[in-house]
Amino acid sequence: MKITRHPNNPIVVPGGYEWRKVTVFNPAVIIDNDKFYMIERTAGSLTPCKNFLGLLESEDGVNFTHVKDEPIVTPDMLGFPYGSVQDPRIVKIDDIFYMNYALRPCAMSYYPTGAGVPERSIPTYPDGWGEEEGHWLTRSSILKSTNLIDWEFVADTTPLDINDRDNILFPEKINGKFVLLRRPEEYIGEAYGTEKAAMWITYSEDLIHWEEPKLLAKAENLSWESRKIGGSTPPIRTDKGWLVLYHGVDEDIVYRVGAMLLDLENPEKIIARTRNFIMEPETYYEKFGYQIPNVVFPTGNVVKDGLLYIYYGVTDTAIALATVPLDELVEYILNEPQV
DSSP string, 250-312: -TT--EEEEEEEE-SS-TTSEEEE-SS-SB---SHHHH--SS-SSBEEEEEEEEETTEEEEEE
The nearest distance, CB 117 to ligand BMA, in angstroms, is 6
What residues does 300 pair with on adjacent strands?
Answer: 311
Q: Which residue lies nearer to ligand BMA by CB, 5 or 165? A: 165
Q: How far apart are the first and last CA of the chain?
A: 15
Which of 292, 324, 329, 330 touches ligand BMA (CB under 6 A)? 292
Q: How far is the CB of 165 from ligand BMA (least distance, A)?
A: 6
Q: Determine the interface stretch with ligand BMA among 125-133, 143-151, 172-180, 292-300 (rule: CB under 6 A).
A: 292-300
Rule CB under 6 A: is residue 313 a binding residue for ligand BMA? yes
Smallest distance, Å, CB 263 to ligand BMA?
28
* Binding flag, residue 295, ligand BMA (CB under 6 A): yes
26 touches ligand BMA by CB under 6 A:
yes
Does 224 contact ligand BMA by CB under 6 A? no
**What sign has the CA pseudo-torsion 259, 52, 161, 255?**
positive
Q: What is the number of the residue whose Cβ is closest to ligand BMA?
A: 297
Does 87 interact with ligand BMA (rule: CB under 6 A)? Answer: yes
> Between the CA of residue 229 and those of 99, 181, 200, 329, what are the distances in Å?
21, 12, 10, 20
> For the sheet containing 214-217, what is the strand order?
164-169, 178-184, 199-204, 214-217
The amino acid at residue 228 is: K
What is the rounded CA–CA span in Å between residue 21 and residue 23? 6
Q: Kindly write down the DSSP assignment for every residue of 58-110, as one continuous string.
A: ESSSSS-EES-SS-SB-TTTTT-TT-EEEEEEEEEETTEEEEEEEEESSPPEE
Total binding residues for ligand BMA by CB under 6 A?
10
User: Quick one: 255 or 332, whose CB is closer to ligand BMA?
Assistant: 255
CB of 99 to ligand BMA, least distance (A): 15
Q: Does 316 bind ligand BMA (CB under 6 A)?
A: yes
From residue 30 to residue 69, what is the string marking binding to ligand BMA with x (rule CB under 6 A)? ----------------------------------------
* Paired residues of 321 in beta bridges: 311
Smaller CB separation from ligand BMA, 61 or 313: 313
**Residues contributing to the site for ligand BMA (CB under 6 A):** 26, 86-87, 117, 255, 292, 295, 297, 313, 316
